[in-house]
Amino acid sequence: MNTIIRSIIIPAWALTIVACASPGDESVQSTEAISGTAWELVRIQSMDDRSWSPEDPSGYTLTFDPDGTACMRLDCNRGRAGWSSEQPGRLEFGPRTDVHE
């Protein structure tokens, strides 16, 4: 049962982060404005007015490293991606293009 819950919560959490940076949101000014910050998930509000809040928000974090790496903790799962915010109200996630393995 936990697998089903995680598969629903993780995409919803990712959409919540994108929604926080929607056009008109002046809190995301540029890469410098959020570089070095960390966010915790407080609540997921679905379109049918159901909501979910984690018992421990520190288990659901998103950290914006100054080198352009976003580090995610989603309960027992971890993730990493590139991030950028080139203009106010726009937050983009994707592969890191400057990393060579």
In the chain, where are the structural domains located?
Answer: 2-90
Sheet holding 92-94, edge to edge: 38-40, 60-64, 69-74, 77-84, 92-94
Is-contact 75 61, C-beta < 8 A?
Answer: no
Q: Which DSSP category does 57 fall into? A: G
Terminal CA-to-CA distance of the chain, rounded, Å? Answer: 36
Q: Which residue has the tokens 């903790």?
A: 73
Supply the pLDDT for residue 99: 56
Supply the pLDDT for residue 34: 87
Supply the pLDDT for residue 19: 41
Supply the pLDDT for residue 30: 62
The ranges of the chain with pLDDT < 70 are: 1-30, 97-101
* DSSP bridge partners of 60: 74
Supply the pLDDT for residue 97: 66
pTM above 0.85, yes or no: no
Supply the pLDDT for residue 32: 77
